[in-house]
Structure 1
Amino acid sequence: MPKSRRDKRVSLTQTKKKGLESKQSLIEEVRNCLDLYERVFIFSVSNMRNSKLKEVRNTWKHSRFFYGKNKVMALAFGKTPETEVRTGLYKLAAKLQNEVGLLFTNKTKDEVIQWFKEYSEHDHARAGNIATSTVELAEGPLTQFSHAIEPHLRKLGLPVALKKGIVTMLEEHTVCKDGDVLTPEQCKILKLLNIVMAQFTINMQYMWDKGTGEFEAFEVSPPEQIFNKVRVTSDDQEYDFVDQNMNVVESETKAETKDDLGSETETMVTGKENVPDAENLFASDMVKTPRRSSRIKNKK
């Protein structure tokens, strides 16, 4: 049926569009910051989390972050040598592409690079993220789960059933493989298993110095991968790292060592080297551990 020319689409939303005034305001704020701060950095964010970015803003209250439209911010700098407001800024404006932001600061280059290089926060992966490890569930009981959650696990696609009131895997199941694009169901399973695969980082890409007018580019290094295989058995989780030749570094024996305080710590022996137990590997402030197999016991 043809559409009537008299019918008009009316939007019932009360949200007003950001017009010319908001763009002019952004340009004015960016140019004011050029007078207040000595350096401008272009940064990108991996695995964006608004709560994490807010924490960084609070930590860097002495500086100013901008996350606006790239074309508007580039217009504030000047896109050509003739229109740039300060020497060398047109080079920075040309790099405002994709999802990036601006950092205005008076901190030195080394201080900024060092701080953001050491900063990272880990969180559960979301749908659309790339799996950084292969996760396998072994056949048998899963005592870490309550019996009440069994229908939810079946709905997520896990082959489970209740046996004597205990959630039990009927067969071995692979939740995800390294390099796969995660689905919402896979992300929910990983969250229930308390396995984190997302790492929130802020990467500095370019810098412009007001004093010298120089433009500098930085190399962005990918985050270090600590493990790429997880096998969940009963109430334990075993984390392995598979080398480039796809040879799994397997644990051979167990040993008990004593730390400086005299407490016993369970370690896994691989070859001739002892690898400490990574009990808090998946806490919010993850501690990097050597790339070898370790066993983590979940708290019941």
Structure 2
Amino acid sequence: MPKSKRNKQVTLSKTKKKGREHKEAVVNTMKQAIENHNSVYVFSFENMRNLKFKEFREKLKSTSRFFLGSNKVMQVCLGRSADDEIRPGLHKVSKLLRGDAGLLCTNLPKEEVERLFNEYEEYDFARTGSSVTEKVELKEGPLEQFTHEMEPFLRKQGMPVRLNKGVVELISDFVVCEEGKPLSPEAARILRLLGIQMATFRLCLICRWSPDDFELYIEGPDDSDIESA
């Protein structure tokens, strides 16, 4: 029997793709920001946390503008070569927009930007799949930080536990995670329960551009090509 078209399922979460108009709007906004600010920086980020980044961005709202998103769109805006760059030297900045990177347009003095980025460091719980920074091992015996209601949940995470007179007890030593290995979903949950934060959200400056200067903060394999461009 053929399926009725009336019973066709519709995904309510389906969203419209961002088209050409959206990209053009982003490019125009970036061009305006570059015109309105004294310098442009490329920065990289590690263990991005959207809420924490939003707080950092809000602190600089009066003097600066941040851009995160498609590196390709940002490269097109800046110009990929000396022939199509929107201001002299910006194609060098464009070449450094790779991987986890963003753009900062600001009127802050160079020293202030460097201080803010060098001092910025936020700790958070590591997510599944991230690289473990240290070995965490729990020794056999009572786990008094956990209530008796937690025992079934801990067992589901692979921990060899039991209830002993209402106290959660580890019946043998248990390695939660090993240094250098990817973090499993179970280990991530246990570390959160233990209050152990292994992820560090950092922002690192890569380069700085101003109308009369271009400066690299991090040397990479293609830096000679950038300098000669």
- Given the superposition, is the C-alpha separation of residues 10 and 190 from structure 1 closer, same or farther in structure 2, using an over 3 Å criterion? closer
AA partner of residue 34 (structure 1): I
1:156-171 correspondence runs (5 A):
156-171=157-172
- RMSD over aligned Cα atoms: 1.7
The answer for the alignment partner of 1:187 in structure 2 is 188
The answer for the alignment partner of 2:51 in structure 1 is 51
- Given the superposition, is the C-alpha separation of residues 76 and 144 from structure 1 closer, same or farther in structure 2, using an over 3 Å criterion? same
Deviations, residues 260-291 of structure 1 (Å, cap 9, x unaligned) = xxxxxxxxxxxxxxxxxxxxxxxxxxxxxxxx
- Aligned 8 A contact 2:46 2:100 in 1: no
Q: Secondary structure at the match of 1:171?
A: coil
Whether 1:215 and 2:207 are equivalent positions in the alignment is: no
- Given the superposition, is the C-alpha separation of residues 160 and 12 from structure 1 closer, same or farther in structure 2, using an over 3 Å criterion? closer
Q: Aligned partners of 2:94, 2:9: CA distance in 1, in Å? A: 38
Deviations, residues 123-147 of structure 1 (Å, cap 9, x unaligned) = 1111011111111101111111100
How many percent of aligned residue pairs carry the same amino acid?
43
The answer for the alignment partner of 2:85 in structure 1 is 84
Whether 1:27 and 2:27 are equivalent positions in the alignment is: yes
Q: Aligned partners of 2:103, 2:83: CA distance in 1, in Å? A: 22
Deviations, residues 150-204 of structure 1 (Å, cap 9, x unaligned) = 0100000001101111101101111111111101100000111111101111111
AA partner of residue 66 (structure 2): F
Structure 1 segments of 4+ aligned residues over 4 angstroms from their partners: 9-14
- Measure how far apart 1:100 and its partner are: 1.0
AA partner of residue 45 (structure 2): V
TM-score, normalised by the number of residues in structure 2 = 0.87
- Measure how far apart 1:68 and its partner are: 2.3
Q: Aligned partners of 2:202, 2:64: CA distance in 1, in Å? A: 18
AA partner of residue 56 (structure 2): V
Q: Aligned partners of 2:18, 2:31: CA distance in 1, in Å? A: 20
1 or 2, which has the higher helix percentage? 2
Q: Aligned partners of 1:49, 1:195: CA distance in 2, in Å? A: 17
- Measure how far apart 1:57 and its partner are: 1.2
1:59-70 correspondence runs (5 A):
59-61=59-61, 62-70=63-71
- Aligned 8 A contact 2:128 2:188 in 1: yes
- Given the superposition, is the C-alpha separation of residues 152 and 70 from structure 1 closer, same or farther in structure 2, using an over 3 Å criterion? same
Q: How many residues align?
A: 210
Q: Aligned partners of 2:15, 2:132: CA distance in 1, in Å? A: 37
Q: Aligned partners of 2:72, 2:150: CA distance in 1, in Å? A: 49
TM-score, normalised by the number of residues in structure 1 = 0.67
Q: Secondary structure at the match of 2:92?
A: helix
AA partner of residue 157 (structure 1): G
Q: Aligned partners of 2:9, 2:104: CA distance in 1, in Å? A: 40
- Measure how far apart 1:80 and its partner are: 1.1
The answer for the alignment partner of 2:131 in structure 1 is 130
Deviations, residues 40-72 of structure 1 (Å, cap 9, x unaligned) = 111111111111011011111121001121111
- Measure how far apart 1:10 and its partner are: 9.6
1:219-230 correspondence runs (5 A):
219=218
With 147-156 and 108-117 compared, the bigger mean Cα shift is at 108-117
Which sections of structure 1, spanning at least 5 residues, go unmatched? Answer: 1-8, 221-300
Q: Secondary structure at the match of 1:127?
A: coil
Q: Aligned partners of 1:10, 1:81: CA distance in 2, in Å? A: 51
Where relative contact order (Cα < 8 A, 6+ residues apart) is larger, the structure is 2
AA partner of residue 21 (structure 2): E
Q: Secondary structure at the match of 2:52?
A: helix
The answer for the alignment partner of 2:200 in structure 1 is 199
1:1-300 correspondence runs (5 A):
12=11, 15-61=15-61, 62-210=63-211, 212=212, 214-219=213-218
Which sections of structure 2, spanning at least 5 residues, go unmatched? Answer: 1-7, 220-229
Q: Aligned partners of 1:59, 1:135: CA distance in 2, in Å? A: 36
